Amino acid sequence: MSGGNEDIQAVAAHWLGRFEAALSRGDEAGLRDLFRDDSHWRDVVALTWTIDTVSGGDALARALASSAASARPSGFAVDPKRTVPRRVRRAGSETIEAIFAFETAQGRGSGVVRLAGDAAGGAPRAWTLLTALDELKGHEEHVGKSRPRGDAYSRDFRGPNWLDLRKAAMAYEDHDPAVLVVGGGQAGLAIAARLTQLQVDTLIIDRWPRIGDNWRHRYHALTLHNQVQVNHMPYMPFPSTWPTYIPKDKLAGWFEAYAEAMELNCWTGTEFEGGRYDAEEGRWSVTLRRADGSRRTMHPRHIVMATGASDLPALPRIPTLDAFRGTVLHSSQYRDPAEWKGRKALVIGTGTSGHDIAQDLQSGGAEVTIVQRSPTLVVNVEPSAQLPYALYDEGPSLEDCDLITVATPLALSRRTHQMLTEQAKNLDQKLLDGLERRGFRLDFGDDGTGWQFKYLTRGGGYYFNVGCSELIVEGKVGLMQYADIDAFVADGARLKSGATVAADLVVLATGYKGQEALVSKLFGEVVAARVGPIWGFGDGQELRNMFMRTPHPGLWFIAGSLAQCRIYSKYLGLQIKASELGLLPEAVDTTNAEARPVGARSVMA
């Protein structure tokens, strides 16, 4: 693995040539020889029409040979338009990382291979391999030189103009959308933008009066806690003049402008009341309640739930809380500290929302005590919380950074985040010591994997410190352990010591229920049981039922950060388009002893 860039490129090109030859022959032994024992192959819709990771040289070779028989991949070559092959460190190990292009019988794709030497000192073998679908042949996105020309409404002075056509498209007076997206936040906007570019008729519904209100109506001081360069939306990056940390109202305004600029069909002030699936017709029957109180029944073939990793507030049963005579709010209901100036507040929960609300109240003149229920991971917003995003500052384009991010399998991602967590602990040691002296209980994630895995497995349980931790250390925000509370009383919380902590306000920063609860509410328990757990990893290496087909036909999920939604909306959109084209193979629903196909369409739509 020595030599200059030309040597590195030659090494990558040689490996790709051998790989394609073995793949074309279905040669399991030849494929096995190209991979290390501890190797991983992650396919994102390119060869398997799903998102899956296979680990171990033997299993990987079998899976590749099997998938190649139907996908017929070819044309593997270092992509000259992308970041050149280079030496990098991934998960603590040095590797050659190369981005390549390829195609299949039905699409074109990109991939990343990481090559590393073996113990015997032989030729570099693949440590990780990614194959990801970029586009479907004959159904490419209408972008760049393929953008629509607008000839019809530009030159026909007697016909409808662009605005007439947009109004007609958004009204849905004489037709139903192929896809109904529930939720108009970053997830809903991203998948709708992708589907629109794939010529799939898509309608977003959102219960708020305006797109962006899901951010606009959050608490006054909220800003994003990761940096602007990571958070771009598909097709429309944020302006280079924007601040590093985006304020909520600025983001909300951008979302509204994004929907307009990307020509997304949106019905705001619209509530999704529920739906049922007709297996014979291959479509849903859903009821929507509009802002004026009227109802509309629609029959989309697909529903994409884009309501976030969770949507319904989690309101734990807190014994004796009903004895409290002050105001009780869930964090989702909290808005502004002004009315609590000079008054006393208890904030129950030490995740991001709990800390931010406590800091907001304290800055507004309230006397605040934060109540810790369980150990919490704390990391300074800079530089520690930004360590996982270092790739986006290294020089590759956003597109390349996204692909490299997708190329990291779960096992290596866990190892990477263990290392980053140790680095963050060292950087933040002074703050962490101060918190522990105050009695704050710290946590660093399962097996020390840090905040990102807390997010991916449970959607919270951590705090990016933007100042509240210092307030706790300095005693400007009080700290109390929930276990020390004996009971809530009319004027606050009585401790087991006998003392009473007075309060006028109790904020429950207790998070949200999982999406399973929302699915059960909207579609019924049978559908929820068939779909199963959503988010987290379970026994697998991919987020459960997220960004891919679920056990229920025509029901899809997208959620996560702006970066996750930007990246995975591409692959979710391609799967839905493939379903519309009849390209998806039948999948087997293993939730029923009588196995049945799900999610496939046998005719062109």
Which is more confidently placed, 203 or 117?
203
Task: Check whether residue 184 and residue 307 sit in a common domain.
Answer: yes
Task: Check whether residue 374 and residue 486 sit in a common domain.
Answer: yes
Whether pLDDT at 576 is above 60? yes
Whether pLDDT at 605 is above 50? no
Task: Check whether residue 109 and residue 124 sit in a common domain.
Answer: yes
- In this prediction, residues 67-94 reach a mean pLDDT of 95
For residue 361, the surrounding DSSP H or E stretch is helix 352-363
Residue 141, in any domain of the structure: no
Task: Check whether residue 451 and residue 466 sit in a common domain.
Answer: yes
Residue 336, pLDDT score: 85
Residue 187, in any domain of the structure: yes
Whole-structure pTM value = 0.91
Which is more confidently placed, 63 or 217?
63
Residue 314, pLDDT score: 84
Task: Check whether residue 347 and residue 367 sit in a common domain.
Answer: yes
Residue 428, in any domain of the structure: yes
Task: Check whether residue 199 and residue 98 sit in a common domain.
Answer: no
Report the C-alpha gap between 407 and 397 in whole angstroms.
15
Residue 119, pLDDT score: 57
Alpha-carbon separation of residue 463 from 186, 370, 517, 535, 559 (angstroms) = 21, 13, 25, 20, 20
Residue 479, in any domain of the structure: yes
pLDDT tens across 180-198, in order?
Answer: 999 999 999 999 999 999 9
How large a percentage of the chain has pLDDT more than 70?
93
For residue 401, the surrounding DSSP H or E stretch is helix 398-406
Residue 60, in any domain of the structure: yes
Task: Check whether residue 494 and residue 594 sit in a common domain.
Answer: no
CATH of the domain at 525: 3.50.50.60
Residue 315, pLDDT score: 86
Task: Give the range of the structural domain holding residue 87, as residue numbers without chain letter.
Answer: 5-136
> Which neighbouring-strand residues pair with 100?
78, 111
Task: Check whether residue 13 and residue 93 sit in a common domain.
Answer: yes
Q: How many domains would you assign to the chain?
A: 3
Domain boundary among 486, 510, 534: 510
Report the C-alpha gap between 107 and 545 in whole angstroms.
24
Asked which of 55-59, 218-222, 388-392 is least confident by mean pLDDT, the reply is 218-222
Task: Check whether residue 502 and residue 588 sit in a common domain.
Answer: no
- In this prediction, residues 370-376 reach a mean pLDDT of 96
First to last CA, the chain: 50
Q: DSSP for 542-605?
A: S-TTSSS--SSTTEEE--S-HHHHHHHHHHHHHHHHHHHTT-SPPEEETTSSS-EEES---S--
Report the C-alpha gap between 238 and 236 in whole angstroms.
6
pLDDT tens across 139-187, in order?
Answer: 999 888 777 776 665 666 677 888 999 999 999 999 999 999 999 999 9
Report the C-alpha gap between 348 and 358 in whole angstroms.
9
Residue 604, in any domain of the structure: no
Residue 162, in any domain of the structure: no
pLDDT tens across 322-341, in order?
Answer: 999 999 999 989 988 999 99
Report the C-alpha gap between 197 and 217 in whole angstroms.
30
Residue 120, pLDDT score: 58
Q: DSSP for 234-297?
A: SS-PPPTTS-SS-BHHHHHHHHHHHHHHTT-EEE-S-EEEEEEEETTTTEEEEEEE-TTS-EEE
Report strand pairing: 93-103 vs 74-78: antiparallel
Burial class for 434, CB neighbours closer than 10 Å (0-12, 13-18, 19+): middle
Whether pLDDT at 601 is above 60? no
Report strand pairing: 587-589 vs 555-557: unpaired
CATH of the domain at 96: 3.10.450.50
Residue 237, in any domain of the structure: yes
Contact 529, 367 (CB under 8 A): no
Task: Check whether residue 424 and residue 448 sit in a common domain.
Answer: yes
Task: Check whether residue 559 and residue 489 sit in a common domain.
Answer: no
| Helix/strand/coil for 73 | coil
pLDDT tens across 394-415, in order?
Answer: 889 999 999 999 999 999 999 9
Q: DSSP for 90-158?
A: ETTEEEEEEEEEEE-SSEEEEEEEEEE--TT--S-EEEEEEEEEEEETT-----GGG----HHHHH-TT
Residue 309, pLDDT score: 60
pLDDT tens across 513-567, in order?
Answer: 888 989 999 999 999 999 999 999 988 999 999 999 999 999 999 999 999 999 9
Domain boundary among 118, 136, 154: 136
Domain boundary among 495, 510, 525: 510
Mean pLDDT rounded to a whole number for the chain: 92
Task: Check whether residue 360 and residue 478 sit in a common domain.
Answer: yes
501-536 burial, b if ≥16 CB within 10 A, otherwise e?
bebbbbbbbbbbebbbbbbbebbeeebbebbbebbb
pLDDT tens across 264-314, in order?
Answer: 999 999 999 999 999 999 999 999 999 999 999 999 999 999 997 656 788
